Amino acid sequence: MASTRNRGDSVEITVCLGYDSNGKKIRKTETYTPPPGLSEKKRQKSIDAEIIRFETILKGGKIAMNSSIKLDSFCNDVYLPAHKEFLSPDCYAMYSATIKNYIIPSLGHMKLKDIQPDNVQNFINELLIEKKIVKKVKGKEVITTKKLSVSSVDRYLDVLKSVLKYAVKLKYIAETPADKANLTMPKAVKKNIDIVTINEANHILECLEQESIQFQTMIQFALHSGCREGEIVGLKFSDFNEETLNVTIMRSAYKLTGEPTKTKPPKDYEHRIIKLNPEFFELLAMLKAEKEKEAARLGDKWLGGDEDWLFTQYNGKIMHPDTPSKQFKKFLKKYSIQHHVFHSLRHSNATLLLYGGINIKHVQERLGHSDIKTTQRYLHYIQDIDTNAATVLDTFLSKHKNKNETENSKKASKSVG
């Protein structure tokens, strides 16, 4: 049996484990601080969950048979509050939405200790079923169907795995029922990496000369740096050092529904320095001069302030994180260039660096990959390039060989005649 006593924002939890040989109560105590910002009801649920966890540990890690916490309560009162400070804001929003829209409707009513692998398998199967969606368009009901991709299902399953893994860590359950070995998932079709070819890149650079300085700078930077879209939008002029020809990537822009664009640390929270060519800094100087001129023209209507953003809206505010993708799509269509996603510029940068003989470890650091395996996936594409190159050479040499054989044959015939 446990008792609690308030200690400011914290709670002192005391558990009685029976009596010793002298008839004295055996007590164990811990201090627990519930996540801040919870309502009184959710705060109490969080405390109750911690009491169960503490009792479980004291009983040698065995799950208390009277544990009645359900998955929905564990997600909302234990898991999400504990992870809010550790997940990036957009990642936390995705986890929250996945839990709310998919996990809780399917499994939220179940007690943690009752969830078995077959329940998780049913969760997967439900996600894979094509569903009817009824929408009202101009007062009329329109029925459409929607089926989640295998990659989406895999992503939602990863969230559930994370929740159940955390339950194991806190000793609410002995083992996770979402072990991959006990589940069946359809294989996702492996997509080829979207790469801009060298010829396409040259054509893009030619067409860029007809576009605004801001758009030119954005695409040039994406091709030369290989940065992510959010990192590009989050750039400031102060991040660049013309003397060293370096740029420091120290933030990434993101936007949540109903909120203004904000910034966060780069992926994996690591700043990195990238070397650029001198020509880019000439373009950068032109962009800065243009921004200063526009700020003077708009006066009080220029809302950039001291933020010094590189890529802005018309009034100096930071650009929406999705704008580069939208503008790049329109640009390719305008010049009848094959469609590529904006992220393909990052893929192309990585591939060209590796194909040019740059050490894979250096490419990993330049791109900000935490795991070198992510960088290694580009090696397969480089092997394809080499195969294509070998095929082209073989075809050319075969034609040349056949031509020589024909000429030699003709010469031989003449000499015989």
| Domain ranges within the chain, ordered by starting residue | 198-376
Residue 399 confidence (pLDDT) above 60: no
Maximum mean pLDDT: which of 30-39, 319-328, 371-380: 319-328
- The HSE-up count of residue 82 (CA atoms within 13 Å, CB side) is 18
What residues contact 308, with CB distance under 8 A and at least 6 apart?
Answer: 236, 237, 238
Beta-strand runs (E) in 365-415: none
DSSP H helices, 182-235, are: 198-208, 213-225, 229-233
Beta bridge partners of 131: 146
Mean pLDDT of 357-379: 85
Q: Is the pLDDT of residue 232 over 90?
A: yes
407 has a pLDDT exceeding 80: no
pLDDT confidence of residue 391:
55
Average pLDDT over residues 309-318: 95
pTM (two decimals): 0.69
For the stretch 161-213, pLDDT in tens is 999 999 988 888 888 999 988 899 888 777 778 888 888 888 999 999 999 99
Lowest mean pLDDT across 26-30, 210-214, 323-327? 26-30
Mean pLDDT value of segment 281-293: 95
Helix residue ranges per DSSP H, 170-298: 198-208, 213-225, 229-233, 278-298
Amino acid identity, position 276: L
**The domain over range 198-376 is classified in CATH as 3.90.1150.10:** no
141-153: per-residue pLDDT in tens?
777 778 888 989 9
Mean pLDDT value across residues 256-260: 90
Highest mean predicted confidence (pLDDT) among 79-83, 141-145, 401-405: 79-83
For residues 110 and 119, is the Cβ–Cβ distance under 8 A?
yes
Q: What percent of the chain has pLDDT over 70?
A: 88
Of the candidates 204, 197, 195, 198, the one whose C-alpha atom is nearest the C-alpha of residue 335 is: 204
Q: Which residues contact 54 (CB under 8 A, 6 or more apart)?
A: 2, 13, 15, 28, 30, 32
